[in-house]
Structure 1
Amino acid sequence: MLKKILLPLIALFVLGIGVSAHAAEKYVVATDCTFPPMEYLDENKQPVGLDPSLVKEIAKACGFEVEVQNIAWDGIFAGVAAGRYDIVAAAVSITPERAKAFTFSDPYLDIYPTILAPAGSPFAKPEDLKGKKVGGQIGNSAIMALEKVKVGAVIREYDDVGLAIEDMVNGRIDAVAVDSVVALYYFNKKAEYKGKLRIAMQFGEPERYAFVVKKGNKELVEKLNKGIKLVKENGAYDRVLSEHLGSAK
């Protein structure tokens, strides 16, 4: 009798081990929710944006799970190096310095310095900004790119790019230098500016966004690279970009 009871229990135990062994792997994803439309907090204080959406689509395509956490930028890289997070998905540009300390996935988005201007403005090339007041966020790469081309624009820096755009719409400055994703977000997704803005130009060299993992984590970066390819093939990539950026036209 005891044998008859134990055998089914042993079978269930073994089956349970088999199920556990084949459970989907779960990775902790760190993002800094202060940079819409790439990552920000929704009304429930949950991470949303292009990066969280894209990494979830990649996980779905590859058969693993992700938990997205909002982590302050100043601790995000130390956290992945220490193993507290598996992936950084936070609009991280590939740079030689970062590549020495971390492993990057294949790039998933190219970002260009962009000039956002009032609707009807005549600006078409950087030289058109000579003597014009151009705003931008302090330390932003688009402002640095504009300074690099030396067209004689009068640069005004702001703590928040939204303040620069507000000043432009109210006629206090002539244009705003921003990353292309931010330009698309304000042009397509901010209802209060509908019909008031135009994307005047892109210029300079692109930055390339990629996911970051701990140095040498070849297995995980291969999964991410496979996932980037799959979501571009199955249409999920285009859906995510359209949802968060809208049309470039």
Structure 2
Amino acid sequence: MSISAISLRKPAIAALALAAVVGLTACGGSATAGSSATADAAKAPLFSQLPQDIQSAGTIKVASNVEYPPFESIDKDGKTIVGIDRELADAVEKQLGVTLAFDNIAFDAIIPGLASGRYSMGMSAMSDTKERQKQVSFLDYFKAGAGIMTTKANADKLKSLDDLCGTKVGIVKGTTEDADATAQSGKCEAAGKAPLAVTIYAGQNQAVLALQSERVDAFLVDSTSGSVVAAESNGELAMGKAYEEGYFGIVFPKESTQLMTAVQKAMEQIKADGSYEAILAKYKMDDHAVDTFTVNGATK
């Protein structure tokens, strides 16, 4: 090998040596940071009560359909999830010491996603019902109800479910309002009237657009979320009074007792320290607060 070749190789060898040192230092730094993060998580009040796999992962995968303000929606930046559920999740994270990572999916895919094990929790303004309890468990955290959204022009004509006979009605797939519409159609026919002409939509945004474009006359929706949408419609839409009351719940696979109990304790703690009511009050929803976080509190 020539002297020139040896000279040319020296910088390369030095660079490789430096890279190795930097690499070792970086690896050492990552390990320290990782150990520190794990130690910090373990200091959270309820970390030890989580299932071992979630402790190890440091994350709870949460299924959500991010189209239900004020519970969850996309912020103006087009990517950040905001709302009551996200803020409650942030508060719960501090108690559990793990991240609650939201995944935006179709509403009717939430329960199958929990059943398949893809997700450990669901937060999406989901009504607790006896029928759904056959597949999942609910931790009730919000007093809610269902109502009728219309255009302002139809608000005085379509006030009750009985007023909907013979009209075109929008429903979001997989919601309890689907069953409400079916039941009401039966009542209409029994009274000698035309049934509801129901159109099923994949999400709330699509149903609202259909109402605004007059493809449907009414939209059966959670009255809380509907009130927010109507208030932000510049007077175009109106939200009627709730025709049925119930609870929204955080959703868990039926066998996930340990995780649900840990989250229940976390919710109890953020209620005790005032965070729960403060979050609801921020969205002017504090009158919907529950006194206790009941498991499967629905009666029908």
- 1:184 touches 1:246 (CA, 8 Å); kept in 2? no
Residues 1:94 and 2:128 are matched in the alignment: yes
Residues 1:164 and 2:225 are matched in the alignment: no
Deviation by residue 1:56-78 (Cα, 9 ceiling, x = unmatched): 22333x35332313153466445
Q: Which of 108, 122, 136 matches 2:141?
A: 108
Amino acid at match of 1:28: I
- 1:47 touches 1:70 (CA, 8 Å); kept in 2? no
Q: Structure 1 residues 147, 33: closer, same or farther in 2, change over 3 A?
A: closer
Query: How many angstroms does 1:186 deviate by?
Result: 0.8
Amino acid at match of 1:227: A
Query: How many angstroms does 1:166 deviate by?
Result: 0.5
Residues 1:183 and 2:226 are matched in the alignment: yes
Equivalent pairs, count: 225
Q: Which of 204, 216, 237 matches 2:276?
A: 237
> Equivalent residue of 1:206, what SS?
strand
Q: Which of 258, 266, 271 matches 1:227?
A: 266
TM-score by length of 2: 0.58
Deviation by residue 1:108-144 (Cα, 9 ceiling, x = unmatched): 1233220223179435852672657353225443354
Percent of pairs with identical residues: 23
Instruction: Mark the runs of 5 or more structure 1 residues left unpaired by the alignment.
Output: 1-14
Instruction: Mark the runs of 5 or more structure 2 residues left unpaired by the alignment.
Output: 1-34, 48-57, 288-300
Corresponding residue of 1:68:
101
Amino acid at match of 1:155: L
RMSD: 3.9
Q: Which runs of 4+ in 1 moved over 6 A?
A: 245-248
Deviation by residue 1:168-212 (Cα, 9 ceiling, x = unmatched): 5xxx76543222133122123x2xx22333332221x43532223
> Equivalent residue of 1:135, what SS?
strand
Query: How many angstroms does 1:147 deviate by?
Result: 4.6
Distance in structure 2 (CA, Å) of the matches to 1:197 and 1:183: 9
TM-score by length of 1: 0.67
Q: Which of 213, 219, 230 matches 2:252?
A: 213
Please tell me whether Structure 1 or Structure 2 has the larger radius of gyration of its CA atoms.
2
Residues 1:148 and 2:178 are matched in the alignment: no
Q: Which of 230, 236, 243 matches 1:196?
A: 236
